[in-house]
Chains A and B, each alone.
Chain A
Amino acid sequence: MKLTPKTATLLVLAALVAITPFFFPSGYYYRVGALIFVNGLAVTGIVILTGYAGQVSLGHAGFAGIGGYACALAPVHLGLHPALAVVLGAVMSAALAWLVGRPILRLKGYYLGVASLGMGILISMVLNNERWLTRGPDGIDVPDLGLRGVLKDWGLNLSNGEFWYFFSGIVMILGAWAALNLHQSPTGRALRALHGSEIAARTVGVDVSRLKLQAFVISAVYASVSGSLLALQNKFITPDVAGFMHSIEMVTMAVLGGAGSVLGAIFGAGILTLLPQVLTVFAEYEQMVLGLVMMLVMIFLREGLLPSILRKLRGTGE
């Protein structure tokens, strides 16, 4: 049987999620793993926006902020179950992305980058300043999702770390599955076409601004759900989740690993989540080493880490 790239990617991801815990020296690593998967989910959204459609957003952390704070606020103020709060956050993020993206995506060039940057900063400011609602920079408690308790009643007893590791892993794989479906679908082809040549895409009938908007909205939903998962597993959230640095992190993870491929971008999320843990040996030089790694990858492996490595492997194999 011939393995399609989609099946191969999903198998690799499932194997990674299932097998790596056997090598964990301590429970702490479940937490790191869960963090990688949460970032991997957000970055898969960036693959759709940047890798497929070729548009760059510098404000996607704003949507993660909406998703995160929806889980903190909606259960308290609206009496919603946290799971429904995730959905509410995603709907709000999609609506905002649609409203913001509609006028911007008609324009060509760097407008989306700059406008999304402004949008991200605005959301982060609201979260910092509206203390009556968000309690400001100190952060706010997030209620328990409750799913772990349900699983326990069914006889599946997981520690908190284990639960969030596997739950985030499964959500990330679902996200990857949808992104891979999109890649081979008519919509995905149109997105990649407008990335390749906007004028040629128009000539074959692609409504370019409409499709860019769809990609923007979809990727906003990914970021939002990722923010919700982060808030729920920490049971706490601060406005940093919506901060500019987090937006940059998302784009960097995708580009470093290979924005054109789901597996590559998730690989990038893994590296950039792990590196700071490893680089603590460099103490105060940590950020510098991180910056150096990024520069070297972009200079020598422009397609991103994973696609470049795979190409090299294939090159020697033949």
Chain B
Amino acid sequence: MSLLDIKGLGITFGGLRAVNEVSFSVNPGEIVSVIGPNGAGKTTLFNMISGVYLPGAGQVVLNGEDVTGMRPDLLARRGMSRTFQNLQIFQSMTVLENAISGYHLQERGPVLADLLGLPSSRRRSKAAEEGARALLARVGLERAAEREAGNLSYGALKRLEIARALALNPKVLLLDEPAAGCNAVETEEIDHLIAEVAKSGVAILLVEHDMKMVMRISSHIVVLDHGEKIAEGDPATVSRDPAVIAAYLGTEAENADG
């Protein structure tokens, strides 16, 4: 049994099979990447695993428990955390507050104590703030802590989202295109960060377009095309797979050797 088991997952949108019969598993410390041409169903797959969409078929098993279609906040309590392809930052909050909000499950308490500003409430906030500052330092954002998140660069926001997801101290981390829209330097920073997180024993599931990055850091790759899994294996095996090459040549010839 793996930490995260995806078994025959599928979903249909208005008669269109967006994802069909996809199975794979992720173990602690592993980086599993899901790749495929645009529209292959990668983000849809992610949304099913993280409880945003209710799968039409199949199962998501987390740590031996069937969590198929479970609400994202309940998944968070069970150690699953994620980032989003199109950033989902709390724009009007400061960078620090964004990071602190990742500690919600640890810092929450009776609402009455929060209204009255009781010492217990302040203690909870304080502990979360300390954790958040340490996390911001880890992703290189400690100096932007007091700035309004909406004013940060795209690459910085991507790192902030990862920091917020890490605040949950997740067992499984889903990263949806963490390097999209980032320059080479930023990509490399994110690259290091992901490898480091995996090394600490977190199971990482990654969707990424940057093939160089995928080939460099993945321990295992799952290839989707038209919603179906067409190949699976370590980077070397997958990059030689004729079905994979065909899928990429057919749709994105210019990226095939990228």
Chain A residues with CB under 8 Å of chain B are 177-178, 181-182, 184-190, 192-193, 195-197, 199-208, 214, 218, 260
Contact = CB atoms under 8 A, between A and B. Distances in A.
A208 B74 CA distance: 11
A258 to B, nearest CB: 12
Nearest to A187: B114
A197 B76 contact: no
Given A196-B89, A202-B76, A203-B165, A218 B104 contact: no
Contact of B82 (A185, A188, A195, A203): A203
B73 A207 contact: yes
A218 B111 CA distance: 10
Contact of B168 (A177, A196, A205, A260): A205
Contacts of B199: none
B32 interface: no
Contacts of A186: 104, 107-109, 114, 121, 124-125, 128
Given A185-B121, A203-B165, A204-B167, A196 B72 contact: no
A168 B127 CA distance: 36
Contacts of A206: 73, 101, 104
A204 B164 contact: yes
B167 to A, nearest CB: 7
Interface string B106-138: 011101011111000100110010000000000
A219 to B, nearest CB: 12
B108 A196 contact: no
A205 B97 CA distance: 15
B192 interface: no
B249 interface: no
Given A186-B121, A189-B97, A193-B93, A199 B84 contact: yes
Nearest to A186: B107
A171 to B, nearest CB: 15
A204 B104 contact: yes
B102 interface: yes
A130 B102 CA distance: 50
Given A187-B108, A193-B93, A196-B93, A203 B100 contact: no
B52 A199 contact: yes
A83 B239 CA distance: 76
B50 interface: yes
Size bin of chain B's contact surface = 35 or more
Contacts of A178: 115-117
B127 to A, nearest CB: 10
Interface string B72-108: 1100110001101000111111000100111011011
Nearest to B101: A193
Contacts of B97: 189, 192
Given A196-B90, A205-B76, A190 B116 contact: no
Nearest to A188: B114
Given A196-B89, A199-B84, A218-B111, A189 B168 contact: no
Contacts of B84: 199-200
A190 B104 CA distance: 7
A123 to B, nearest CB: 25
Interchain residue pairs A-B with the least CB separation, the first 8: A196-B90, A185-B114, A181-B117, A205-B76, A200-B88, A202-B72, A205-B105, A186-B107
Nearest to A214: B111
A179 to B, nearest CB: 8
Nearest to B114: A185
Nearest to A202: B72
User: Counting chain A CB atoms within 10 Å of each CB, which of B52, B76, B109 scores highest?
Assistant: B76
A292 B234 CA distance: 66
Given A178-B116, A189-B100, A205-B105, A200 B89 contact: yes
Contacts of A192: 90, 92-93, 97
B71 A202 contact: yes
Contacts of B72: 199, 202-203
Contacts of A197: 88-90
A261 to B, nearest CB: 11
Nearest to A211: B111
B76 A204 contact: yes
A190 B108 CA distance: 9
Given A186-B124, A193-B104, A205-B104, 20 more contacts: A177-B117, A181-B115, A181-B117, A186-B108, A187-B114, A188-B114, A189-B107, A193-B90, A193-B101, A195-B90, A195-B92, A196-B90, A199-B52, A199-B88, A200-B164, A202-B72, A203-B76, A203-B165, A204-B104, A204-B167
